[in-house]
Every structure is written in C-alpha cells, then in structure tokens.
Amino acid sequence: MAHPYHHSLSSVKKWGGEFDDFMPLHAWFDQSKEITADFRHRALRHHAEGVFMLETIFGPTITLSTGRVIPTRWVGEQHVREDLGFIPSFADWARAIRPEPWMGRTQKIEVLVDPAMADG
C-alpha cells in the first residue's frame, strides 16, 4: 500500500461504506510523509501506540455512510498491517534507530537562582 486512498479502498472492501469514510483515518497515519517522504515516516505512527492515538483523536468508533459502526482501532490495525505485515510496538522502531552522539548530548543547565539568595 502506498497511498491513503488505496488503504481506504481496502477498508471499503473489508467493512463496506465509501472510501471517504476512511480517508481521514488513513491520511492521518501517512501525514508524517510531510516530514520524511520515505519509509522512515512510519516510525512516528505505524505502531501499537499509533493505533491507540488514532482512537484518541477520531474516537473509539466511526459511523460509515451505510450507518454501520466500526471501531477506529480496526482501521488503524488494518493500515499498519498492510504496510508492515504486523503491528510493531514503538520499542521495535526505537531498537532499529542507530544511536548518534548528538542524541545523548546534554548542555549544562545554568543556575537559575542567585546562590546568594538561596541561603536566605
């Protein structure tokens, strides 16, 4: 699957309704293509937490144009499975990120309170 439209057609085949019923949900998953237009965009939402974020944003169910009510989680799980073959955890993605020195570098935090005033 490459585009939310195709995921939406797949949803229609699975649950009925029209592709417009599903487009907002599938488009949300792939919105991260704005950041990086290759497979790495999936690290942001294509995992178990992303499926639950979808549910938080769009509600626990959607009502299709036919009147049928289905869980949004089903749509999210379908999207991730079609793209990856399974639903990884965010930890699965994080383990695949190669650590770079700049990722763990910290800056010295300046003293925010005058030490002379702290005593008294």
* pLDDT mean across residues, the chain: 91
pLDDT of 108: 76
Q: What's the burial of 35, exposed, middle or buried (CB within 10 Å: 0-12/13-18/19+)?
A: exposed
pLDDT of 88: 98
Buried b (16+ CB within 10 A) or exposed e, 72-107: bebbbbbbbeeeeeebbeeeebeeeeeeeeeeeeee
Q: What's the burial of 40, exposed, middle or buried (CB within 10 Å: 0-12/13-18/19+)?
A: middle
pLDDT of 111: 64
Q: For the chain, list residues with pLDDT below 50.
A: none
Residue whose C-alpha is closest to residue 32's, from 103, 72, 80, 96: 80
pLDDT of 120: 54
| Separation CA 63–CA 50 (nearest Å) | 21
